[in-house]
Amino acid sequence: MKRSTWLLAHRGWSAKYPENTLLAMTKAMELAVDGLEFDVQLTKDGVPIVIHDSTVDRTTDGTGRVDRLTFAQIRLLNAAKRFKDRPDVGWQSIPTLQEVLNDAHRLCPNGFFNIEVKVYNDNWRELVDTAVSVAAKHPVGNRVVFSSFYHPAMAYLKAKHPHAEIGLLFENRPEKPWKTALDMKAYSANLDYRYATPDLIAACHDYGLRVSLWTVDDPAAIKESIRYGADIVISNTPDIAKKARNAIYDLFRNSLSE
């Protein structure tokens, strides 16, 4: 078992607050988690914003594809439409990448930040270059890793920006994820926790890779992930994740004192 598994809040504290908003990010960082995982896309006019879906339909009171709306249009949308009965949530805008990093620097300057590059069209090179440029100029830029399920985007990123760190996202049960990750000089293999085994994690470690597990909300699964040796656990429920990690570490410390 690793004694220093990092906990990242998935899209902020998304189980309790509107995902990928500054409110969700702030509330997660106030819990003193180790960092954040969030998504980035470009608007029609090339502004990097933090949103997961290819459209604004699910998470806001608007409709339309992100890449067909200008930043000014997107800024008018309420990203807390599903929380209309929560007065403590109020109206939330879709934030820019710059805004999220600014809050991260203010509240969690030593944290770790996983930025997932969402590829829904053929402008992913522009997206990669823009996101890397924003992060590189930021005080927390050296605490950022970029990840994506679309591995060609990560290959391009690493080739053009060799000092940036990348994580390769894998779906289902991958065959030898360490081979692909090593070929692309990745920082981490980001695995679906349901398919992660102690042997798979150990094999990644043997090749010098970190292992990030997503998206783990059940307390028992969080504890299991830590026991298996995961370097990073990504959770929608950072409050539950912290309690589960503390319970594991308390047991570990007690066993050492016996």
Residues with catalytic annotation?
A: 10, 52
How far, in Å, CA of 69 to CA of 125, rounded?
A: 19
Nearby residues of 32 by Cβ (< 8 Å), 6 or more positions away: 242
| Secondary structure of residue 22 in the 3-state scheme | helix
Amino acid at 65: R
Q: Is 141 exposed, middle or buried (0-12, 13-18, 19+ CB in 10 A)?
A: middle
Outline where DSSP puts E strands in the chain: 6-10, 35-42, 48-49, 112-117, 144-148, 165-170, 188-192, 210-214, 232-235
